[in-house]
């Protein structure tokens, strides 16, 4: 039998429950005998616990125990909430979360998700066995009981700044007389206990249980004036334009941190610092962290390329010579042009990453990994084409099949292609969508350039000419610069 399973309600228990409610109705000073051995007759949440128990919203444990100070898991909370609003379990063939199949609470979690009472984590998990925090609880209660959400994220609690992700929900609980917190603090990061959750749900269900606003300690009224937001760090002259449909700002540098706010596409954020993939940013007076892959980073002054991390990938190498024409190899032309692009980017202040700097062969996956390991912000792969002798021209590829910055990749491809045609004068074969592995398996703006055809005599002359190699590199450099200038 599950630990949380409902215990049998004995006849005597039934009478004791009635006595408990009767006692409550006589006034707070009457402490009827508790039905649980571990809930004292004068326990602060005794009436609320027994109210929920009597309404079969929460169960006790064997041996007439309630375990009031035990934490509540996210799975258990889903069950309590669904019971409280008199909803039923739901078992669709495809669960809403990847980690709830077979979980004893999956039907409740599913129904709560359908009703938009709960939400999971970014990785599509719900984490049913993780304990629920008081902050998370505030959101669930507000959603479940359709409480009128506070217009402001200012709260009366000294430990809940307006920037906190659940601030407006916590203030709503205060407005609705569901929680006074603990003195002047709410302790949003603490696990909610069974007694606390019982109290909050009872107060949401029945006005009799509501707290009085002045009790136990008068809490300060929310300040009516400009909210005192934490002073954001000094600006660095770097902004980021959101390239994703929506970008989550989190309270810390990682996807497991709580959500601060969601930033819409094309919004521009102020970037304070970048550590690895995480950028500390301010948007709409809120400061937090976002994944920089979904920001087009722009310096507001100086070189647009200053500090940008760009990976240049010279195609093929080593045992893999690429396309061949006589004793001319694609791998050598690609490396020569890649090194020239590297120099130009470095001169403009960029941080360059080379997947290879000599005649070696990194695997395709290895090239992608090099880019990711260096927290690259852009990836440019350089190749030459080959076909029948009559085929000629230049083309630049981007991928929209999997790369989450497919649209940005396309912009970059168009800019580079335009510059190549202008400087080299080859036939314009266009910017094209194709899912080459190196541009598909990462999510930064990524392109693959086919400089020209090694198999065409006119193109070959340009590909092997040092002057033209310089121009190929200059065109790619200008394309990158132009992308960042838009
Ligand atoms: Zn190639």
Residue-wise pLDDT for 279-325, tens only, equals 999 999 999 999 999 999 999 999 999 999 999 999 999 999 999 99
Decide: pTM greater than 0.75. no
Q: Are 270 and 288 in contact (CB under 8 A)?
A: no
pLDDT at 273: 95
Query: 232 C-alpha to center of ligand 1: Å?
Result: 47
Same fold across 238-299 and 309-485: no
Give the whole-angstrom CA distance, residue 451 versus residue 463.
8
**Tokens encoding 104:** 């004893």
Q: What percent of the chain has pLDDT over 90?
A: 54
Query: 412 C-alpha to center of ligand 1: Å?
Result: 19
Query: 67 C-alpha to center of ligand 1: Å?
Result: 66
Query: 323 C-alpha to center of ligand 1: Å?
Result: 6
For the chain, the structural domain boundaries read 133-221, 238-299, 309-485
Buried b (16+ CB within 10 A) or exposed e, 407-429: ebbbbbbbbbbbbbbebbebbeb
Give the whole-angstrom CA distance, residue 439 versus residue 345.
20
Query: 326 C-alpha to center of ligand 1: Å?
Result: 16
Query: 351 C-alpha to center of ligand 1: Å?
Result: 25
pLDDT at 23: 35
pLDDT at 226: 45
Query: 317 C-alpha to center of ligand 1: Å?
Result: 10
Query: 329 C-alpha to center of ligand 1: Å?
Result: 10
Query: 483 C-alpha to center of ligand 1: Å?
Result: 24
Q: Which fold has domain 238-299?
A: SH3 type barrels. (2.30.30)
pLDDT at 474: 98
Query: 450 C-alpha to center of ligand 1: Å?
Result: 7
Low-confidence ranges of the chain (pLDDT < 50): 1-29, 214-229
Query: 8 C-alpha to center of ligand 1: Å?
Result: 72
Query: 418 C-alpha to center of ligand 1: Å?
Result: 20
Query: 453 C-alpha to center of ligand 1: Å?
Result: 10
Query: 392 C-alpha to center of ligand 1: Å?
Result: 15
Q: How far is CA 214 from CA 27, 158, 185, 208, 399, in A?
A: 19, 16, 14, 16, 60
Q: Which fold has domain 309-485?
A: Aminopeptidase (3.40.630)
């Amino acid at each position: 039998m599950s630990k949380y399973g409902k215990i049998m309600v004995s006849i005597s228990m039934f009478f004791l429950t009635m006595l408990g409610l009767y006692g409550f109705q006589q006034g707070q000073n009457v402490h009827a005998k508790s039905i649980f051995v571990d809930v004292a007759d004068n326990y602060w949440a005794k009436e609320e616990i027994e109210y929920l128990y009597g309404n079969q919203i929460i169960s006790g444990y064997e041996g007439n125990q309630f375990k009031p100070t035990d934490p509540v898991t996210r799975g258990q909370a889903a069950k309590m909430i669904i019971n409280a609003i008199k909803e039923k379990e739901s078992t669709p063939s495809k669960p809403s979360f990847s980690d709830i199949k077979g979980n004893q609470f999956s039907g409740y979690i599913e129904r709560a998700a359908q009703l938009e009472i709960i939400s999971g984590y970014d990785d599509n998990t719900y984490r049913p066995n993780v304990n629920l925090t008081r902050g998370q609880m505030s959101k669930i209660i507000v959603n479940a009981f359709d409480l009128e959400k506070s217009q402001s994220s200012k709260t009366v609690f000294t430990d809940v700044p307006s920037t906190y992700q659940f601030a407006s929900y916590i203030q709503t609980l205060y407005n609705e007389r569901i929680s006074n917190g603990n003195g002047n603090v709410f302790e949003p990061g603490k696990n909610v206990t069974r007694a606390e959750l019982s109290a909050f749900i009872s107060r949401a269900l029945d006005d009799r249980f509501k707290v009085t606003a002045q009790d136990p300690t008068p809490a300060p009224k929310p300040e009516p004036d400009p909210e005192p937001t934490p002073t954001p760090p000094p600006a660095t002259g770097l902004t980021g334009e959101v390239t994703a449909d929506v970008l989550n700002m989190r309270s810390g540098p990682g996807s497991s941190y709580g959500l601060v706010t969601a930033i819409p596409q094309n919004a521009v954020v102020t970037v304070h610092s970048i550590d690895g993939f995480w950028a500390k940013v301010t948007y709409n007076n809120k400061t937090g962290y976002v994944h920089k892959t979904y920001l087009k980073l722009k310096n507001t002054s100086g070189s647009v390329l200053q500090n940008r991390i760009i990976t240049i990938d010279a195609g093929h190498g080593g045992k893999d010579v690429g396309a061949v024409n006589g004793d001319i190899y694609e791998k050598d032309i690609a490396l020569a042009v890649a090194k020239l692009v590297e120099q130009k980017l470095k001169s403009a202040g960029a941080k360059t990453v080379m997947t290879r700097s000599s005649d070696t062969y990194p695997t395709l996956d290895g090239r992608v990994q090099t880019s990711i390991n260096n927290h690259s912000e852009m990836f440019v792969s350089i190749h030459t084409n080959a076909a029948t002798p009559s085929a000629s021209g230049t083309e630049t590829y981007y991928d929209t099949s999997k790369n989450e910055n497919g649209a940005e990749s396309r912009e970059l491809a168009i800019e580079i292609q335009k510059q190549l045609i202008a400087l080299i004068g080859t036939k314009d074969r266009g910017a094209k969508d194709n899912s080459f592995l190196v541009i598909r398996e990462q999510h930064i703006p990524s392109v693959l350039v086919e400089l020209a055809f090694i198999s065409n005599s006119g193109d070959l002359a340009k590909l092997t000419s040092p002057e033209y190699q310089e121009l190929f590199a200059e065109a790619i450099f200008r394309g990158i610069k132009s992308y960042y200038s838009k």
